[in-house]
Structure 1
């Protein structure tokens, strides 16, 4: 049987899960999915506080309510640094094309009454359409 070679980041995630077996238990219990865990791991990294409850020999750390805003900003900055710029540009172009299409549809519905549409062409002079013989 031919085995596909996995992406290096997936291999790293697998190693991370093997080092923290409590993650496997959470998925088996149905509390979360592999996809959610992988996305969190990819965005936030292994050192994020989200993984504290899964680490061996450590108890979950409860953060103080007076957490500094700079930590939050640093987290967002690290997420932005990890984003693929080409992929983001492609998504922005798709959104732009979708907005252009929506604007076109809206402009068709907002025609002025002076510009009759194809169905409103010259109404008959008489409400009854009889031909004279």
Structure 2
């Protein structure tokens, strides 16, 4: 049985979890799922305060209502600075290819004679609210 090779980011996350056993306890206690934790780790990074809060909290969720708009904006600005432009471009290219494939499948079901890019929406009735007056 051959095992599928994991994405490098998944391997890094697994290493992060090995170094932070409190993350495993979070999942086992039912407070979070692996998917949620991976997404947070991927977006926020390993140095985010969220990971410290998981290790120190005693069954209570961290309070986010006390954050001011300035803190929120600084967090967003920090995340934007951490974005790798090459990785973002790869994600955009993958999304573009997926949308192109979906458009191809749709055009096959619609008749397929229309060239890609020149598909125009079907025209509806001229006046969709044409009611008879009493």
Q: 1:83 to 1:111 in 2, by over 3 A?
A: farther
Matching residue of 1:109: 124
Task: Tell me if the contact between 2:17 and 2:23 (Cα under 8 Å) persists in the aligned partners.
Answer: yes
Q: 1:22 to 1:83 in 2, by over 3 A?
A: same
Q: 1:25 to 1:75 in 2, by over 3 A?
A: same
Residue 81 of structure 1: how far off its partner (Å)? 4.0
Cα distance in 1, alignment partners of residues 88 and 75 from structure 2: 23
Residue 110 of structure 1: how far off its partner (Å)? 3.8
Unaligned runs of 5+ in 2: 107-116, 128-134
Residue 53 of structure 1: how far off its partner (Å)? 2.0
Give TM-score, length-normalised by structure 2.
0.55
Rg comparison, structure with higher value: 1
Task: Tell me if the contact between 2:27 and 2:33 (Cα under 8 Å) persists in the aligned partners.
Answer: yes
Matching residue of 1:86: 90
Q: CA RMSD, aligned part only?
A: 3.7
Q: SS at 1:32's partner residue?
A: coil
Residue-pair matches, total: 105
Residue 83 of structure 1: how far off its partner (Å)? 4.5
Unaligned runs of 5+ in 1: 113-133
Matching residue of 1:117: none
